[in-house]
Amino acid sequence: MNEDGVKYSVLRFVHIIGGKEVEFSMARESDGTHRLFQLLEILESKKEKVYIMDEISRCLHPKLTIEFVKRYFEIAQSRNIQLLTTTHETRIMSHDIVRRNEVWIADSKDDGSTTLYSLEDKQVRIDKVLDENYMNNVWGGVPVFEDDEEVYII
């Protein structure tokens, strides 16, 4: 039983390999499956709290990330919870998923400082395609490489 009073059951992970059922332990499951269980805990918890999560889309298919965010917002309407997360998954930057005041951009400057601002601060119109404009660096926050700049990949 967890701190919310929810009883846990033993989970079995069964994969069909060569037409036969093969049971996997949680340790053998993918990073994406582990991440999905972390996210499901947020959806199932009855506690009122703020969840802080770095890279919400880490190890997840983009469709799973989008579906989680949509379900989170549905649940958040009836519960006193809040999610603060970072992501590089631009597909959740859509007016039908998030509001402009819910999207904040971190714009790194040449001097090493970072400026944070919401899309509402930038007075982004509702008819703008958010992810496309972000990737085109309309509002900043996207790395820019000069033609003569050397980039080293290690």
Instruction: Indicate if the pLDDT at residue 15 is higher than 90.
Output: no
Angle at 131 between CA 67 and CA 143, to 5 degrees: 120
Q: What is the mean pLDDT of the segment spanning 4-21?
A: 81
**82 contacts: CB under 8 Å, gap ≥ 6:** 49, 50, 51, 76
Per-residue pLDDT tens over the stretch 17-75: 999 998 887 888 889 888 998 898 899 888 899 999 999 999 999 999 999 999 999 99
* Per-residue pLDDT at 83 exceeds 90: yes
Q: What is the pLDDT of residues 136-145, one digit of tens each?
A: 999 999 988 7
* Pairwise CA distance, residues 57 & 11, whole Å: 24
Task: State which H helix or E strand residue 14 sits in.
Answer: strand 13-17
Cβ–Cβ < 8 Å for 143, 150: no
